[in-house]
Structure 1
Amino acid sequence: MTSPQQAKTTDRGRYYEDPQGGPDLISVTNVLDYSVAKPILIPWASKVVATYVMRHLPRVVAHSRTDPDAILKELKRQPEYAREAAADRGTRVHDRAEAHLLRTPVPDEEDPEVLPYFNQFLKFLDMWSIDPDRDLEAAEATVANRQLGYAGTMDLLLHLPTGPSRRRRRQLWLIDIKTSETQASTNVWPEYDMQLAAYRYAPVIWTPDGSDIPMPKVAGAAILNLRRRRVNLIPMHASRTSFAAFRSALTVAKHLQRTEQTKFAPLTPPTDPDPTTLRRAA
């Protein structure tokens, strides 16, 4: 998933520059990163470090005696390296899927890390009888809500045969792609529901030339879970209630970021205290 042209990285996470002017808009994922607790990351980080130690035990032990500060710093960085590697792999999978749908040049056809996930993506298209020329409404489109001050880039708007009739009339779905090496393909994190709701109820989509078009109504929203050997499409609520929860998270994220930028000064006692107050205290 290449970075959208309006997106920029700041010391407070990703923001979007409004092509029509006005203040920058905080990204949906930035909101969730700031406001949603992720307790699972603690045991995950512990496992990453423990696995690294077991794989490099002789070297870790040797360095613990000769340069303990350096090896400690190296161990502490392993979760960050693992997170960056997973994010990079996910980006390459998104890029390959997008190129296939839009029939644009493929970034790297033989990328050994991407191929298993891309094959599962092709399986998804086949299972749901998806013809990109007929069923793709949008890919990597940025949505925005200027009134609330956020923007985000949704992965796919696809027409799927989910209608109630016998002919399975096609309906428009909002789909976000997630990749992972370890999770079961039916697992989704709760914050995904708020993420999809934020996209779903954003009023406008930004076009490449910077103009607005209305966000179309969708029949549903889902997570496309891609694993090396399995794929599942998991429907989410992405309801008005989910959107209300996202708006609360948005308020929390903005408050936390403002507080981070505040320089708090310690209170100092008066230089000339009132002697009567001192006598009463005594």
Structure 2
Amino acid sequence: MLPKPFLAFWNARMVAELAVDSLPFVAQMAERDRQGAVDYLKGAARRYTQARANLGSDAHDLFERMIRGQHVGRVHPDLIPYRDNFADFLAVVNPELVRAEDVAWSDTHGYAGSFDAILHVWLDEEGKPTADRSGERHTLIADWKTSKATYPDVALQMSAYAHADRLISPDGTSEPMPDFDGAAVLHITDETWAFKPVRIDRADVFATFLRLREIFTWDRDTSKTVIGRAIAQATDQLVTGTQRRAK
């Protein structure tokens, strides 16, 4: 429900770059099938997004296995740097997994979502992780992001998880959502990783999420009910001379 005006420019850039980078191929395609060439170009952003989503899903599956302590053998070459960087994160931060890939459910506000992890992380007085767990233990809602950058709306997502009423296990049982000391996002790419704190306070961040939740209800449901059928309308439609001549 957040406005994303930059997406139009990004979509246009993806199409333009594909066209310039594959001019001979596109020209040959257009000679045989103009509509096919148009569809190929306009699908550039969608194909890129799908490829990134597939890589992100595979990486999330890998991360879950690793943080659960499972042995990970050979992986696809594209996943090797993600595996290595996540292993480095585990060594530096040494978190304790509490829950992973369970569902956060809000009866109060009518939403649900699957979170990546609940972690215990030990931090020193400066808020830095202590790999030997000598610092103070904190319970965090955590999220893994494999995108090019971390974006502010991750705070809305994580505040929704943290302020849900209960969490639901794969077997269908549920229990109250625990109290959190905070939230953190692990931004991990094929080059590096960073573990960043994220605000999830109720008065500001979560309140904004709830306003967006109301807009979602308006867009999906309420907006379809606000305009009724016409109670009066024209019975004879004027046909102009221009319209007659066009026929």
Q: Same fold (TM over 0.5)?
A: yes
1:82 corresponds to 2:43: no
1:254 corresponds to 2:217: yes
1:151 corresponds to 2:112: yes
Distance in 1 of aligned mates of 2:194 and 2:159: 20
Distance in 2 of aligned mates of 1:58 and 1:236: 47
| 1:126 equivalent among 91, 99, 119 | 91
The one of the two structures with greater contact order (alpha-carbon pairs below 8 A, sep at least 6) is 1
SS of the equivalent of 1:161 reads strand
RMSD of equivalent CA atoms: 2.4
In the TM superposition, residue 257 of structure 1 has moved relative to its aligned partner by: 1.2
SS of the equivalent of 2:187 reads strand
Distance in 2 of aligned mates of 1:261 and 1:61: 44
8 Å CA contact 2:67, 2:90 repeated in 1: no
Distance in 2 of aligned mates of 1:210 and 1:91: 23
Distance in 2 of aligned mates of 1:99 and 1:263: 49
1:219 corresponds to 2:178: no
Task: Quickly say closer, same or farther: Cα 1:260–1:86, change in 2 above 3 A.
Answer: farther
In the TM superposition, residue 189 of structure 1 has moved relative to its aligned partner by: 1.4
1:5 aligns to what?
none
2:244 aligns to what?
none
SS of the equivalent of 2:200 reads coil
1:279 aligns to what?
none
In the TM superposition, residue 59 of structure 1 has moved relative to its aligned partner by: 1.3
Distance in 2 of aligned mates of 1:47 and 1:113: 25
Letter in 2 for 1:256: D
Gaps of 5+ in 2: 237-247
1:178 aligns to what?
145
Identity among equivalent positions (%) equals 28
Residues 185-200 of structure 1 correspond to what in structure 2 (within 5 A)? 187-200=149-162
2:194 aligns to what?
232
| 1:140 equivalent among 66, 82, 101 | 101
SS of the equivalent of 2:40 reads helix
Deviations, residues 167-202 of structure 1 (Å, cap 9, x unaligned): 31221111111103xx3xxx4212111101000101
1:269 corresponds to 2:236: no
Distance in 2 of aligned mates of 1:263 and 1:72: 38
8 Å CA contact 1:160, 1:173 repeated in 2: yes
